[in-house]
Structure 1
Amino acid sequence: MSQKALIVGSGIAGIAASIRLAVQGYQVEVFEANPYPGGKLSEITLKGYRFDAGPSLFTLPEQVEELFRLAGKDPKDHFDYEKLEIACHYFWEDGKQVKAWADINRFAEEVETKLGEPAKNVREALRSSAFIYEHLAPLFMHRSLHQFGTWTNPQALKSYLKMGKLGIFSTMNQANERQFQNPKLVQLFNRYATYNGSDPYQTPATLNIIPHLEFNIGAYFPKKGMHDITISLYRLAQDLGVEFHFMAKVEEILVEKGRAVGVKVDGKTHQANIIVNNMDMVNAYKSILRKQKQPKKLLEQPKSSSALIFYWGVKREFKELGLHNILFSEDYQTEFEHIFKKGSIYEDPTVYINITSTHKSDDAPKGCMNWFTMINVPNNQGQDWDSLIQEARKNIISKVNRVLNTDLESLIEVEEILEPRTIESKTSSANGALYGNSSNNRFAAFLRHANYSSDIKNLYFCGGSVHPGGGIPLSLLSAKIMVGFVKN
């Protein structure tokens, strides 16, 4: 008789975990509170416009492909994507514009031409990013930090000798100010702190690992949109016999004699050999694990930033915009002080606009664009969000009008809003934080929950709120690390 595994939550890590466990021979059932799979990686449709609801940047596609290969399938038959020629379009209010070409030499030359920054500085920064990745990725991304063997393997011992070059002892901003002459390029590279909801003026320079993913390895776009990552893996899981239950909110993870034995849903008990929690770790302990010992230090850690997103159907095409676009704040440091110290939104926020219709034309009516317009905001601490959102909307539109010389308000024909309160209600993310605990100190990587419970046998954890962190690649890797601890 095959063993049974129950998974709480069908975020991308929960789906990946279901695939890996099914391949190992487990009978797998997934319980999801929403009527759809994917968690944050879902989609919205509004009167002829389609929007990817959550994560919009796709890197390390091999993490998706590996799941198909594990199941004995050719990824190309089920999931298709393309490498981006331009990773992002950057705009400043003084009229400066930079295209982040995937070709590193072309990007370096663009920066030298547009910003006067020596091209060699860009190449050196990306070599440094690759160096950090080479030494830290095998430790932090592909292994558990909660196992003694991680710290004593040859790769770890080799990395200890390079600590001074890995950015442990300075902030991201300090490292970038040493690397670049032009403040605009410092700002551009500081932006990568937001990829896990952090503050570049606080987070360690080890996060300069991130540009390596986008430039040296590459940024990609699924040809059917980001939501196709969810749908293709969901279908793969179903093909492997995984059973999904939607609108099925888990009320409790059942524990007997220090061992997880099942879950309770709608008053009914479902038993299994192992339980996997893909729900946000903090909210899981506050709700479905409320009767169990609480990891107080982890639960009390500061949370990452959140997001305010306007999904706008815009009845005009802007030829200067691409898939990923950034309109930078004039005072980046003050913007982050508002987010992390004041719990508010700066009057001149950095605006990110993701427009999938530039690559997938049927995401918007002809002659129109689907704008996923986002700013980084604090997590929910009881602020007057209705007032903050109203003011932020006005400031965003004003900024877009200045930078693109347009009248945006007159072009918006559909709108939907996602903000910290609804992020929490829809995805169970504590305080609406996008990435769980923040990474605003050098020990943050060690302050994430392990991929297993040290107190409850047969209870495992995956997803962006636990090791190794948030975002699509790390969430997929969390499932991989987690399944490595499961013993048949």
Structure 2
Amino acid sequence: MAKALIIGSGIAGIATAIRLAVQGYQVEVFEANSYPGGKLSEFEQDGFRFDAGPSLFTMPQYVDELFVLAGRNPKEFFSYQKLDKVCQYFYEDGTRLNAFADAELFAREVNNVTGEPVASVKKYLTNSATIYNITNHVFLEQSLHRLKTFLSRDTARSVLGLPGIDAFRTMHKANEGYFKDDRLVQFYDRYATYNGSNPYAAPATLNVIPHLEQHYGAYFPIGGMYSITGSLVKLAESLGVIFNYNSKVDEIMLDARKATGLKVGEKNINGDIIISNMDVWFTYQRLLKAHPKLFPRKILGQERSSSALIFYWGISRSFPELDLHNIFFSTDYKAEFDHIWKDKNIFHDPTIYLNISSKYKPDDAPASCENWFVMINVPANVGQEWDTLVATARENILKKLTRILGDDIESLILSETILDPRQIESKTSSYQGSLYGTSSNSRFAAFLRHANKSSKIKNLYFCGGSVHPGGGIPLCLLSAKIVSGWIADDFPQTS
């Protein structure tokens, strides 16, 4: 039985462990932290529970699939409910827009609020679906670095459909072409942030993202986002996967150009297959630092995605006008992104994302209170004066929320924890604190990520948000599917 060693227990590492265990491999996972999940973790403070990282759950079928592969009924281990309203949007001019999950209802809401024709919204969503249908089976669900991918009929159809992915203009230009109302253009520009990119630079191919949310829906996992991690770890353990916590990997051991195991503290652990769920930049710079000639220099030099500044606030009262997901838009979106990408700092009027899981899971906060996850997009860490930036951003966020919600928010804060790019990097081994590995701010950057298998080091594979097909829970789960399929071909198991 071949032995697989996985570095990191992020969602992709856990999913890869499950898939390999189902396929008959012996699997061990090594995690530097005392808990699993990577960014998809949780913490409790002063009676409040917070999901520390991702808070939007889409494409739940990719989680369900793991239970089905293991011969389990997903509903017995993991459950979730579909949201009727995906998100609530607040604009500085007083506009409030409800992003209903039902496409027809949403199109009518847009028409009522902005005056944009229902037909324009439907046309836009049809285009988003077209991009998805062209890219999904080839560019998202398979490796772009294997010959077999390009010999399939699906690939041929996708190649013929490439003009339809709208790669030669930016998201913003495309959105301006569909809508006259600036508020709706801003609404759709925001989807660039779902993979840490800039709508004024990223290709309109990324306008595929609204389809994932509108067509497949958004969900709330019963038990909160961390229940995804918890349920999958339990599944993996039931399949014989061994998780080693507080086990920082120091080195990937090589014999010539073949990965043979891991050095963890004073121990050398041998394995036939090595999979890194660590950010690919740190995989090379820390774990393979003795072998710089094997580094993929061009890929490691790519522009990183944006990061995040998060305030976890325990709030002393409830706000009925708020929902699970809330967005408070900046008055000048272009200036906000210029500050992030050109100036490498934070705009004085940032767009604020506010998630309140206690709306759906009341025990996440004491009675009559709410747990606020308050996030803004910020640049990756390149040595800025973060203490000053964080203090100023906090002041501006509080002013904005106080003005729009009509209450002194600072006076309501009972508990506070702050996460900035420096801690994101140190806690999750994400280079520069970037949330999604590299950005997608050039025409084909989304398709030029690091492969799921090393071309220079035998038996070394990669999964997670810093490699193909990209960041976010659904794509991380797909990376696990891709890498486990590749391993199955390279190391066929005999029953």
Instruction: Give the TM bin, normalised by the shorter chain.
Output: over 0.9
How far apart are the structure 2 equivalents of 1:223 and 1:101? Answer: 20
Match of 1:156 in 2: 155
Kindly tell me the number of residue pairs found equivalent between the two proteins: 487
TM-score by length of 1: 0.99
Partner of 2:52: 53
Indicate yes or no: 2:317 matched with 1:316.
yes
Task: Find the residue that maps to 2:480 and give its secondary structure.
Answer: helix
- SS of the residue corresponding to residue 447 of structure 2 reads helix
**SS of equivalent to 1:373:** strand
Counterparts of 1:9-158 in structure 2 under 5 Å?
Answer: 9-158=8-157
Residue 93 of structure 1 contacts residue 402 of structure 1 at CA under 8 Å; is this kept in 2? no
1:361 corresponding residue in structure 2? 362
Aligned twin of 1:187 = 186
Cα distance in 1 between the residues matched to 2:125 and 2:394? 35
The offset of 1:169, in angstroms, is 0.8
Aligned equivalents of 2:357 and 2:376: distance in 1? 17
Separation (CA, whole Å) in 2 of partners of 1:167 and 1:126: 14
Deviations 1:282-335 (A, max 9, x none): 011100011231110011101000000000001111111111100000000110
Q: How far off is 1:147 after superposition? A: 1.6
What are the superposed Cα offsets for residues 229-249 of structure 1, whole Å, 9 maximum, x if unpaired? 000000001101111111100
Q: Which residue of the partner structure matches residue 284 of structure 1?
A: 283
Give the C-alpha shift of residue 118 in structure 1. 1.0
Which residue of 2 is the match for residue 376 of structure 1? 377
- Measured against aligned partners, the alpha-carbon deviations of 1:75-130 in whole angstroms (never above 9, x if no partner) come to 00000000000000000011100000011111111111111111111111111111
The letter for the 2-side match of 1:368 is C
Structure 1 residues 197-346: aligned runs within 5 Å: 197-292=196-291, 293-346=294-347
* 1:177 Cα deviation after fit: 0.3
| Structure-1 separation of matches of 2:462 and 2:446 | 16
- How much has 1:25 moved relative to structure 2? 1.1
Q: Which amino acid aligns with 1:211?
A: P
Shift of 1:28: 0.8
Structure 2 counterpart of 1:333, one-letter code = K
Shift of 1:227: 0.3
The 1:355/1:468 distance shift into structure 2, 3 A limit, reads same
Instruction: Give the structure 1 partner of residue 403 of structure 2.
Output: 402
Q: Distance in 1 between matches of 2:156 and 2:240?
A: 42
| Distance in 2 (alpha carbons) for counterparts of 1:314 and 1:470 | 30
Per the TM alignment, residue 139 of structure 1 is displaced from its structure 2 partner at its CA by 1.5
The SS at the match of 2:138 is: helix
Tell me the amino acid that sits aligned with residue 321 of structure 1: L
Aligned partner of residue 29 in structure 1, secondary structure: strand
Distance 1:214 1:186 in 2: 17
In structure 1, what is the Cα distance between the partners aligned to 2:207 and 2:148? 26
Question: Retained in 2: the 8 A contact 1:56–1:354?
Answer: yes
**Offset at residue 217 of structure 1 (A):** 1.1
Cα distance in structure 2, aligned partners of 1:449 and 1:162? 24
Deviation at 1:153, TM superposition (A): 2.3
The one-letter amino acid of 1:31's match is F
Partners of 1:91 and 1:124 lie apart in 2 by 24
Cα distance in 2 for residues equivalent to 1:156 and 1:404: 50
Q: C-alpha displacement at 1:149, in angstroms?
A: 3.0
Identity %: 58
- Quote how far apart the aligned CAs of 1:205 are: 0.4
Q: Aligned partner of 1:231: which letter? A: G
3-state secondary structure, aligned to 1:416 = strand
- For 2:191 and 2:137, the matched residues in 1 are separated by 20
SS in 1 for 2:93: coil
Note the C-alpha offset of 1:181: 1.2
Q: Equivalents in 1 of 2:418, 2:445: separation in Å?
A: 31
Matched with 2:174 is 175
SS of the aligned residue for 2:311 comes to strand
Spell out, residue by residue over 1:445-477, the C-alpha distance to the aligned partner (whole angstroms, 9 max, x if none): 232110111111111100000000000000011
Distance 1:221 1:264 in 2: 39
What is the alpha-carbon distance in structure 2 between the residues aligned to residue 194 and residue 377 of structure 1? 10
Q: What CA distance in whole angstroms lies between the structure 2 residues aligned with 1:291 and 1:481?
A: 28
Q: Deviations over 1:243-284 (max 9, x none)?
A: 111110000000102211100001210001111111000011
Q: Distance between the aligned counterparts of 2:151 and 2:189, measured in 1?
A: 32
Which amino acid is the alignment partner of residue 68 of structure 2?
R
CA–CA distance in structure 2, aligned partners of residues 464 and 258 of structure 1: 25
Once residues 267 and 452 of structure 1 are traced to their aligned partners in structure 2, the CA distance between those partners, rounded to angstroms, is 27
Paired position in structure 1 for 2:486: 485
Shift of the alpha carbon at 1:155? 2.1
Q: Match of 2:455, as an amino acid?
A: S
1:174-214: CA deviations, max 9, x gaps?
A: 10000011000000000000000000000000001100011
Single out whichever of 60-69 and 115-124 deviates more from structure 2: 115-124
Q: Which amino acid letter does the alignment assign opposite residue 434 of structure 2?
A: A
Question: Aligned to 2:274, what secondary structure does the other structure show?
Answer: strand
Equivalent position SS for 1:184:
helix
Q: What SS is found at the alignment partner of 2:263?
A: strand
2:36 is paired with a residue whose SS is coil
TM-score (norm 2): 0.97
Query: Residue 139 of structure 2 contacts residue 447 of structure 2 at CA under 8 Å; is this kept in 1?
Result: no
Aligned mates of 1:44, 1:92 — CA distance in 2: 31
The answer to whether the 8 Å contact 2:167/2:444 transfers is no
**d(CA) in 2 for partners of 1:161 and 1:121?**
26
Deviates more, 1:140-149 or 1:336-345: 140-149
Q: Is the 8 A contact 2:48 2:364 kept in 1?
A: yes
Shift, 1:17, TM fit: 0.7
Contact 2:134–2:162 at 8 Å: present in 1 too? Answer: no
State the match for 2:474 in structure 1: 473
Preserved contact between residue 89 and residue 97 of structure 1 (Cα < 8 Å): yes
For the residue of structure 2 that corresponds to 1:241, the secondary structure is coil
Task: Please state how far the C-alpha of 1:167 moved relative to its aligned partner.
Answer: 1.2
1:424 aligns with 2:402: no
**How far did 1:31 drift?**
0.5
